[in-house]
Amino acid sequence: MKKLAFGLLGIALLALCAVGLYLRYMSGAAGDPAFFASEIEVFVEADRTAPPAPGQIVFVGSSSIRFWTTLEQDMAPLRIVRRGFGGAQLSHVVHEAPRIVIPYAPRAVVVYAGDNDIGAGKSAETVVADFEALVVLLRASLPEVDVWFLSIKPSRLRASLWPEMAKANARIRALAEADPRLHYLDVGTVLLGSDGEPSADFFRFDGLHLNAAGYAAWTKVVKPVLLDAYGS
């Protein structure tokens, strides 16, 4: 029993250390728009060898896009460019869009970010302002582009932050309702269980990132809408 107790205590201490390191990581990322430059360089180098064809749909944002490794297959026959990086916040997407979004001349841009922003202590108002800055930036070079915002998802790890996330979602939804080229997709409700809480069935062990079932649920929401808009 003592060995078991010490083992559980060790696991708990490791988990606390991991959380501490993650919070320091998020804090550092929040203050530096170029925090993920090394990851962006990988994309840029790949583009030199095989530049994406224009007119595709770019999915850009945080690890929720980065870990969506089946995205291209899930969205087929739509042609997709996946550009998820690090634990990106909207400020990082704004900073890097001139390198990994605008050069592709996409017909549409699908954004998932805001989750890490609020996780790092930013307000809903900051998230909305950064999203508006991204839209302005994209339209300066791509005036006809459609921008789709995937709603900030509820998660088991960040349950206490959900009120602020919901506030950001509501304000971005309102922006989309007033702009025919701006779209809001609710990808959070589909992750809830019968009790109204984020279901463990859709998340990895960390309670934050989606598993295969979570991405399958997102596909059922996102693909039909994009096919309807761009399938012809």
pLDDT in tens, 45-61: 999 999 999 999 999 99
What's the whole-model pTM score? 0.89
Q: Where are the alpha helices (DSSP H) in the chain?
A: 2-30, 37-49, 63-66, 71-75, 90-100, 115-119, 124-141, 162-177, 212-230
Q: Is the pLDDT of residue 232 over 70?
A: no
Residue in the structure block whose two tokens are 């609020």: 118
Domain assignment present for 181: yes
The SS3 call for residue 32 is coil
Considering only 7-11, 89-93, 129-133, 139-143, which range has the smallest mean pLDDT?
A: 7-11
Q: Give the pLDDT score at 26.
A: 54
Band of pLDDT at residue 33, cut at 50, 70 and 90: confident
CA angle 220, 187, 173 (to 5 degrees): 130
Band of pLDDT at residue 27, cut at 50, 70 and 90: low
CA 25 – CA 171 distance, rounded (Å): 28
Band of pLDDT at residue 24, cut at 50, 70 and 90: low
Q: Give the pLDDT score at 12.
A: 43
- Domain that includes residue 86, residue range: 31-230
> Which residues, other chains included, contact 203 with Cβ-Cβ below 8 Å and sequence gap of 6+?
155, 156, 191, 209, 210, 211, 214
CA 147 – CA 180 distance, rounded (Å): 10
Q: Is the pLDDT of residue 25 over 80?
A: no
Domain assignment present for 171: yes
Residue 105 DSSP code: -
Mean predicted confidence (pLDDT) in 3-8: 54
Q: Give the pLDDT score at 125.
A: 98
Query: What's the domain count of the chain?
Result: 1
Side chain identity at 38, as an amino acid letter? S
Domain assignment present for 14: no
Strand partners, 184: 149
Domain assignment present for 202: yes
Q: Is the pLDDT of residue 10 over 70?
A: no
**Domain holding 180: CATH number?**
3.40.50.1110
Q: In the predicted model, what is the mean pLDDT of the chain? A: 91
Q: Give the pLDDT score at 32.
A: 85
Beta-sheet strand order (sheet of 182-185): 80-84, 57-61, 108-112, 146-150, 182-185
pLDDT digits (tens, 9 = 90+) for 144-176: 999 999 999 999 999 999 999 999 999 999 999
Could you tell me how far CA 8 lies from the centroid of its own chain?
33
Domain assignment present for 7: no
Could you tell me how far CA 145 lies from the centroid of its own chain?
19
Domain assignment present for 18: no
Q: Is the pLDDT of residue 18 over 50?
A: no
Domain assignment present for 15: no
Q: Give the pLDDT score at 61.
A: 98
